[in-house]
Amino acid sequence: MKSNVERLVRVSLNRVAPKAAKAASIASWSALSPEERKQANESLVFISFMYETKLIADPFEHSNENQLRPDVLTYVDGCEYFFELGEVTDEALAKSIGDSMKTKTISGCAFSQEEPLAKMLKQKCEKRYETGGASVDLLLDFWRQSPYEETIVKYLNENSLEVDRLFLSSQFTKIWIYDLESETVLWKTQREKA
């Protein structure tokens, strides 16, 4: 990780940081380039997820990769291991929030839990990544849009044939669905071991 990105991610993850440190973090965050913000967001999700799952000892031991490779490279049991990340959010809701922030007016809109999840699963599972033969997991996260777990699980169960088809045709070893706010793995599937 780049040091300025790492420093901001560490402050963001520290839920007991003094208000002044958090305010400085927010100001510094906006000073990052778009590429650094993307890396910081990916790292924030990845590190939180790793703290929860304990798949690796030090979640800060990872690198953000280029566009042809999955988003994050780390080592699991001494072997290269990739994670492709995707944020699940309703684009109409995101636009409405952005417009509200620009105009400083309060507005709302209906939003979907299922449609953005289906879209992200399809988009990510149909893409091919350069991994050099290393394993890659898909980590879908809810960050800006809080998930309603019952709706998510119901959608996955009712559409299990399509989800399985997408998963089995992908190069992913596992698919995880993670809620950043509650730091909870909502759902996971993995390939059967041969």
Q: What is the pTM of this model?
A: 0.81
Once rounded to an integer, what is the mean pLDDT over residues 53-60? 94
Q: Mean pLDDT across the chain, nearest whole number?
A: 83
Range of the domain at 90: 65-190
76 occurs within a structural domain:
yes
Q: How confident is the model at residue 100 (pLDDT cuts 50, 70, 90)?
A: low
Whether 34 maps to a domain, the answer reads no
DSSP at 148: -
Residue 83 lies in a domain: yes
Is residue 38 in some structural domain? Answer: no
Q: Which of 51-55, 94-98, 114-118 has the highest mean pLDDT?
A: 51-55
Domain membership of residue 24 (yes or no) is no
Structure tokens at 35: 């590429």
Q: How many domains does the chain have?
A: 1
Q: Report yes or no on 7 lying in a domain.
A: no
The secondary element (H helix, E strand) that includes residue 190 is strand 184-190
Q: Is residue 137 situated within a structural domain?
A: yes
| Domain annotation covers residue 103 | yes
Q: Bridge-partner residues for 82, per DSSP?
A: 73, 136
